[in-house]
């Protein structure tokens, strides 16, 4: 039973009955918490029909609904806002329909397809805190779209070529002495990242030395021997030099093994992987096609450019003078290849930080100029950077927060707090490890996802793992509490039942309203590409259930029908909490 649709139909009938005209668009919204009611009709637009003041319009519609709808028990008017109080019988019907719907929280297939890209790492360094927000955000958006009926393709583009990759390769060639992950015990991605940091140190020292000898900074940066080696390796790579390709393949294989371990702990997955080393050639073909058609132009040095000044942007290089491609070029190839692989997708979503907003404006605009009609359906899911109390992270300086280390620290902190609470007496070591992982990862994911993706955020590990407050562990603890109630009911042979009562307490109505609102929140989260909508919904539902739990001692109820109803209400609240947190990739413990 969809209460919102029912109310809209009844309000339309009321407006027509009272004013003899059909309303165009009804504005129905949740009631402000300081007023009684659950749904509010904004009556200002209706004054065109009623020819009366907003307050009088609201009263006339409210009177009709109370007298004729069977759904509205009473109302109150605040200026031009009609706040509706829904009858208990209706709330009970709503709850029964949810309780009996085994597919509640999952829309049927819409026949539509969408692609979501996330992660998109470089193979010159391990994943860090910023990658955690990226992966959790992209994966969660994909899961949300599944819940609203889409077929979702999860993909990533691996940035496995280019000057940054060659920097790690150059440093390893100069200073590696054959070092491998097996020889030193480091994860492969961390070993390669070590040489990326080493490159930067040596590069800065060489630039400083050249500047002291009289070179300008720009000249010194180009003349630094280690940078010249990296550029030479990039050119050799594109020329398919066997030795360079061998180093590249070997070091990338180390990185991929390391990434696989990190992704498994993150709990993210991909349907298909794309590699820039494979897509950049298609991108170069598109650049040459655009050059032939006059969409692009060539400068005297042989470089190829696009002029976007008439579109309010600037000129953008697409091929360097030495023939090597830039990121933009390979992104053409990747986008085109994806639409060839998955021709039914209606949208391609790129989960990439907001520092790349200009890049994607240019990318989508050029794809449109090349004649691809689907370019307008490409969307940049832009998100803010993650800051730390110590400041901004910089990969090349080795100041990033490593993803593996952070996940391990969160699990260890969860274990420490669980031991302090003294709730591990009946747990085995394996059970404690599993619980600690679930709580630690739940705290991390919830904290990174509860903030609107567009906003820059400060990650505070200590705050994220608290059992009280706006945190994942608070919601997990609420779920574990409900599961304890369900187990007790089973022990007492109390079967949950959504029938047999005629009235409810206000806290019960509030929980039912929030549960019923879950599908609206799913649609909103998909529309806004925002897991924060689901995260904050789960928090509000957990708060609402705790208010119910504290107000009404469930097992002290003498009326068997009310007792069974409250067990059913608890059961459905737990199910919805588990589903909503599952969309964030967060597991829910049975005991905590």
Q: Cα Rg for the chain, rounded, in angstroms?
A: 29
CB 117 within 8 A of CB 155: yes
Residue 507: which pLDDT band, with cuts at 50, 70 and 90?
A: very high
**Average pLDDT of the residues in 461-475:** 92
Report the DSSP beta bridge partners of residue 289: none
pLDDT digits (tens, 9 = 90+) for 274-322: 999 999 899 999 999 999 999 999 999 999 999 999 999 999 999 989 8
Report the alpha-carbon angle 504-507-511, nearest 5.
95
pLDDT for 395 equals 39
CB atoms within 10 A of CB 515: 24
Question: In this predicted model, what pLDDT tens digit does every residue of 218-227 receive, in sequence order?
Answer: 999 999 999 9
Q: How far is CA 411 from the centre of its chain?
A: 21
Site of tokens 């668009």: 25
pLDDT band at residue 327 under the 50/70/90 scheme: confident
Report the candidate in 517, 583, 525, 584 with the shortest Cα–Cα distance to residue 544: 517
Q: Residue 326: name the closest of 306, 352, 350 by CA.
A: 306
In the chain, the domains with their CATH numbers are 3-86 (3.30.1360.70), 118-288+323-397 (3.40.50.620), 409-582 (1.10.730.10)
Q: Across all residues in the chain, what is the average pLDDT? A: 94
Least confident of 45-59, 385-399, 434-448, 527-541: 385-399
Count how many Cα atoms sit within 13 Å of the Cα of residue 373 in the half-sphere of its side chain.
3
Q: Please report the pLDDT score of residue 394 as a whole number.
A: 43
Q: For residue 510, what pLDDT is reported? A: 94
Is the CB of residue 501 less than 8 Å from the CB of residue 561? yes
Q: In what order do the strands lie in the sheet with 304-307?
A: 297-298, 304-307, 315-319
Mean pLDDT calculated for residue range 193-210? 96
Sheet of strand 72-78: strand arrangement? 27-30, 39-42, 81-86, 72-78
pLDDT band at 399 (very low <50, low <70, confident <90, very high): low
From the number of C-beta atoms within 10 Å of its C-beta (0-12, 13-18, 19+), residue 333 rates as buried
- If you average pLDDT over residues 361-367, what whole number do you get? 96
Q: What mean pLDDT is predicted for residues 550-572?
A: 95
Tell me what pLDDT residue 185 has.
Answer: 93
Contacts with 300 (C-beta within 8 Å, 6 or more apart), sequence order? none
Find the helix or strand (DSSP H, E) in which 473 lies.
Answer: helix 472-491
Split at pLDDT 50, 70, 90, the class of 182 is very high
Side-chain half-sphere CA neighbours of 237 within 13 A: 28
- The DSSP line for 280-343 is HHHHHHHHHHHHHTTSSEE-TTS-EEEE-GGGTS-EEEEE-TTS-B-HHHHHHHHHHHHHHH-T
- Please state whether beta strands 345-353 and 378-383 pair in parallel, antiparallel, or not at all (unpaired): parallel
* pLDDT tens digits along 99-157: 999 999 999 999 999 999 999 999 999 999 999 999 999 999 999 999 999 999 999 99
Q: Distance between CA 347 and CA 379 in Å, rounded? A: 7
Tell me the mean pLDDT in the region 392-413.
74
Contact 505, 115 (CB under 8 A): no
SS3 state of residue 136: helix
Closest CA to 37 of 501, 505, 510: 510
Question: Is the CB of residue 144 less than 8 Å from the CB of residue 532?
Answer: no
Tokens of 277: 């080393």
What is the predicted pLDDT for the residue at 390?
Answer: 62
Q: Alpha-carbon distance 147 to 150, whole Å? A: 7
Work out the average pLDDT over 410-435: 86
**73 secondary structure, DSSP code:** E
Which residues touch 396 (CB under 8 Å, ≥6 apart)? 196, 197, 199, 200
Task: Give the separation between CA 143 and CA 146, rounded to whole angstroms.
Answer: 5
pLDDT tens digits for range 83-112 = 999 999 999 999 999 999 999 999 999 999
Total residue length of the chain: 592
pLDDT digit string, tens, across residues 375-398: 999 999 999 998 877 644 343 444
199 DSSP assignment:
H
Q: Where residue 42 falls among pLDDT bands split at 50, 70, 90? A: very high
Taking the C-alpha atoms of residue 356 and residue 353, their distance in angstroms, rounded to an integer, is 6
Q: Which residues contact 240 (CB under 8 A, 6 or more apart)?
A: none
Q: How confident is the model at residue 326 (pLDDT cuts 50, 70, 90)?
A: confident
């Amino acid at each position: 039973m969809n209460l919102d649709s029912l109310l809209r139909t009844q309000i339309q009938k009321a407006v027509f009955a009272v004013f003899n005209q059909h309303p165009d668009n009804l504005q129905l919204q949740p009631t402000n918490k300081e007023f009684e009611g659950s749904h509010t009709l904004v009556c200002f637009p209706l004054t065109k029909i009623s020819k009366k003041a907003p307050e009088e319009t609201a009263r006339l519609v409210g009177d009709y609904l109370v007298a004729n709808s069977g759904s509205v028990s009473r109302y109150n008017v605040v200026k031009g806002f009609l706040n509706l109080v829904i009858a208990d019988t209706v709330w009970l019907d709503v709850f029964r329909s949810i309780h009996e719907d085994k597919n509640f929280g999952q829309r049927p297939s819409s026949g539509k397809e969408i692609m979501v890209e996330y992660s998109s790492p470089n193979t010159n360094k391990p994943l860090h805190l910023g990658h955690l927000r990226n992966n959790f955000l992209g994966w969660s958006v994909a899961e949300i779209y599944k819940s609203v009926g889409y077929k979702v393709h999860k993909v990533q583009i691996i940035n496995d070529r280019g000057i940054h990759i060659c920097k790690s390769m150059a440093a390893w060639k100069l200073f590696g002495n054959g070092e491998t992950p097996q020889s030193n015990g480091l994860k492969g991605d961390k070993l390669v990242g070590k040489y990326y940091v080493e490159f930067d140190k040596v590069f800065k020292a060489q630039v400083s030395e050249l500047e002291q000898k009289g070179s300008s900074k720009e000249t010194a940066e180009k003349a630094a021997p280690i940078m010249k080696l990296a550029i030479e390796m990039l050119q050799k790579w594109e020329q398919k030099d066997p030795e360079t390709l061998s180093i590249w393949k070997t070091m990338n294989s180390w990185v991929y093994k390391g990434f696989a371990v990190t992704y498994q702990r993150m709990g993210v997955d991909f349907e298909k992987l794309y590699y820039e080393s494979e897509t950049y050639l298609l991108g170069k073909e598109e650049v040459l096609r655009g050059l032939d058609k006059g969409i692009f132009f060539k400068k005297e040095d042989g470089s190829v450019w696009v002029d976007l000044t008439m579109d309010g942007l600037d000129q953008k290089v697409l091929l360097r003078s030495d023939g090597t491609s830039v990121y933009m070029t390979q992104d053409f190839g990747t986008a085109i290849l994806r639409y060839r692989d998955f021709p039914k997708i209606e949208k391609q979503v790129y989960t990439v930080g907001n520092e790349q907003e200009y890049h994607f404006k240019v990318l989508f605009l050029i794809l449109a100029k090349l004649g691809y009609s689907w370019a307008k359906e490409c969307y940049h899911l832009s998100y803010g950077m993650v800051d730390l109390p110590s400041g901004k992270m910089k990969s090349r300086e080795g100041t990033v927060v490593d993803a593996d280390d952070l996940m391990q620290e969160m699990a260890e902190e969860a274990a420490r707090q669980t031991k302090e609470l003294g709730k591990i007496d009946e747990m085995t070591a394996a059970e404690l490890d599993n619980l600690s992982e679930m709580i630690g990862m739940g705290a991390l994911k919830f904290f990174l996802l509860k903030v609107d993706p567009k906003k820059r955020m400060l990650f505070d590990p200590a705050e994220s793992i608290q059992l009280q407050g706006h945190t994942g562990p608070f919601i997990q603890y609420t779920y574990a509490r409900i599961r304890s109630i369900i187990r007790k009911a089973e022990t007492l042979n109390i079967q949950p039942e959504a029938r047999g009562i005629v009235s409810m307490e206000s806290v019960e109505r509030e929980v039912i309203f929030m549960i019923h609102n879950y599908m609206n929140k799913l649609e909103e989260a998909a529309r806004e590409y925002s897991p924060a909508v689901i995260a904050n919904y789960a928090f509000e539902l957990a708060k609402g259930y705790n208010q119910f739990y504290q107000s009404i001692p469930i097992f002290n109820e003498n009326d068997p029908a009310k007792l069974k109803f409250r067990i059913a209400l608890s059961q459905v609240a737990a199910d919805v909490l588990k589903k909503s947190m599952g969309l964030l990739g967060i597991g829910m413990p049975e005991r905590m």
